[in-house]
Amino acid sequence: MELVVARVGRPHGVRGEVSVEVRTDDPDSRFFPGALLTTDPAGAGPLTIETVRDHNGRLLMTFEEVPDRSGAEELRGVLLLTDVSGDDEEDAWYDHELVGLRVEDATGTRVGEVTGVEHGSAQDLLVLRLSDGRTGRIPFVAALVPVVDTEGGRVVVDPPPGLFDET
């Protein structure tokens, strides 16, 4: 199965280097010189990683197929995909495994449904459609989302008071 592991951002410099928004918990095993990534849209790739480096907390890459800044600019917004099989890590989930799960509180009361995942630099947020139709967000950390039961079709949340109150 192919899954999104990054999104190409803006060019950096004039030699085809681009910033990359990482969407994997294990970038070191996904991004290394010689790694071949497919793309969405497919016409932008496949791309072979030439260099990878950290620049002030941001991942920068060059690709063998992209020699200059204009080529790098054309990649902006392209999703980078890799083939994954099986569970790579315990307590790690892909977005498609979470979307559609029922959301319950610790007492088993239905709170809503997971409709998406927002990937942030500090942490990810689960996006929820609450039972009353409003949209809610909760940091996807063990203290607030103690149970993820994909086989049972649910996540359990323990939100702090007021997190889902109307404003």
Structure tokens at 24: 């994997």
Q: Which of 9, 1, 79, 75 is nearest to 39 (CA)?
A: 79
pLDDT at position 86: 53
**Is 89 within the bounds of a domain?**
no
Kindly state the helix (H) or strand (E) to which residue 31 belongs, with its residue range. none
Q: Has residue 89 got a pLDDT over 90?
A: no
Q: Has residue 64 got a pLDDT over 90?
A: yes
Same domain, 79 and 116: no
Kindly state the helix (H) or strand (E) to which residue 97 belongs, with its residue range. helix 95-98
Q: Give the β-pairing of 47-55 and 36-40.
A: antiparallel
**Is 164 within the bounds of a domain?**
no
Q: What is the number of domains present in the chain?
A: 2
- Mark which of 62, 83, 104 sits at the end of a domain: 83
Q: What is the CATH number of the domain that holds 13?
A: 2.40.30.60
Contacts of residue 43, defined as CB under 8 A and 6 or more positions apart, other chains included, come to none
Contacts of residue 91, defined as CB under 8 A and 6 or more positions apart, other chains included, come to 148
pLDDT at position 88: 52
Same domain, 99 and 78: no
**Is 57 within the bounds of a domain?**
yes
pLDDT at position 91: 64
Same domain, 76 and 142: no
Same domain, 75 and 15: yes
Same domain, 137 and 75: no
Structure tokens at 67: 């020699």
**Is 90 within the bounds of a domain?**
no
d(CA 162, CA 167): 10
Contacts of residue 50, defined as CB under 8 A and 6 or more positions apart, other chains included, come to 33, 61, 62, 63, 64
Q: Which of 63, 58, 59 is nearest to 37 (CA)?
A: 63
Strand blocks (E) in 13-134: 17-22, 36-40, 47-55, 58-63, 79-83, 102-104, 110-119, 124-130
Q: Has residue 47 got a pLDDT over 80?
A: yes
Residue 119, domain extent: 95-156
pLDDT digit string (tens) for 107-153?
A: 999 999 999 988 776 788 899 999 999 999 999 988 999 999 988 99
Q: What is the CATH number of the domain that holds 137?
A: 2.30.30.240
- Mark which of 83, 113, 130 sits at the end of a domain: 83
Q: Has residue 58 got a pLDDT over 90?
A: no
**Is 42 within the bounds of a domain?**
yes
